[in-house]
Amino acid sequence: MSRFREKFTNGFIIGSNQAPNNVIYLQIFTKELGVITAKAKVSPKLTGKFQGKLEPLTKAMFVLYKGQTTWSIKEITNVQNTHLDLVTHPIQELIHFICKIYRQLLPEDEPLASLFVMLEQVHQNIANHIYSTSSIIYFLAQTLDKIGILPNLKTCPGCKSEITGNATYDPAQQEIFCTNCIPNHSEQLVQINLNQRKTIYYATKTNLIDFNKIQIDPNIQAKSIRLLQVITANYLGKSPSLVSLPI
Ligand SMILES: [Zn+2]
């Protein structure tokens, strides 16, 4: 038995694929291991019961063991289902959006514990049926910041000075420039105003409860999400429309 390494970890289900012979492959974002793909063998009798645990973004404790190369699931306990059929449509959309973004953005087998803790906050809100546009800004800003693809919001990479007012995001360089250093080579520059930058910056520096307390103009909310969407799509090498958002 020593060739098996057993592991207990909390995780969120972000994807599942049914394979032949009652095998299911789950993509799980775990606290200790990052995103992993794990195999579960399900007896036909138990399939219905087991599949009840496979809703997107279900949180659970997974008992895993590693064979030669792949993780297998021995047991799933402490299951907190997302109850997709009971939540409102915007929350359903948000759940699917989070899973889709994480399947695309997060590398496999790379622990991202601080991102996991952040997702626990968002998941708690979802469990309490709390939905707000602010939570989408918070989720995206925190995610991009914690995996290191959010550009510097305060300091211009051109003149190394603090950006004080309006700014410009250049997808080609994946950087935000002050008005004096606007690149002239790209046709896809995105204008950013001060409130947008403040909103996204604050989202990276606070917790979800405090972030949800601040009043953000709906126009600034929409623009902030649009900018985060462009940064995400640009990182993934996709068109922003392919990173569709639940708003
Ligand atoms: Zn500058």
Instruction: Tell me if residue 201 falls in helix, strand or coil.
Output: helix
CA atoms in the 13 A half-sphere facing the CB of 115: 25
Q: Sign of the CA dihedral 31, 37, 41, 45?
A: positive
Q: Where does residue 166 fall: left (phi above 0), alpha (psi -120 to 50 degrees), or beta otherwise?
A: beta
User: How far apart are the C-alpha atoms of 79 and 66, rounded to whole Å?
Assistant: 22
The answer to whether residue 45 scores a pLDDT higher than 80 is: no
Q: What tokens does 127 get?
A: 């469990």
Q: Which two tokens stand for residue 162?
A: 């603090």
**What is the model's pLDDT at position 167?**
96
Q: Are 100 and 37 in contact (CB under 8 A)?
A: no
pLDDT in tens, 164-216: 999 999 999 999 999 999 988 767 899 999 999 999 999 999 999 999 999 99
Give the Å distance between the CA of 194 and the centre of ligand 1: 15
Give me 189's structure tokens. 């520059």
**Tell me, what's the pLDDT at 52?**
53
51 C-alpha vs ligand 1 centroid, how far in Å? 53
55 CA distance to ligand 1 centroid (A)? 46
Distance (angstroms) between ligand 1 centre and the Cα of 157 equals: 6
Q: Enumerate the CATH 2.40.50.140 domain ranges in the chain, comma separated.
A: 5-80
* Separation of CA 196 and ligand 1 centre (Å): 18
In eight-state DSSP terms, residue 164 is -
- Name the CATH topology of 5-80: OB fold (Dihydrolipoamide Acetyltransferase, E2P) (2.40.50)
Looking at every residue in the chain, the average pLDDT score rounds to 89
Between the CA of 178 and the centroid of ligand 1 the distance, in Å, is 4
DSSP letter string over 43-107? Answer: -GGGHHHHHTT-STT-EEEEEEEE-SS-EEEEEEEEEE---TTTS-HHHHHHHHHHHHHHHHHSP
Q: How far is the CA of 197 from the centre of ligand 1 (A)?
A: 15
For ligand 1, the distance from its centroid to the CA atom of residue 173, given in whole angstroms, is 14
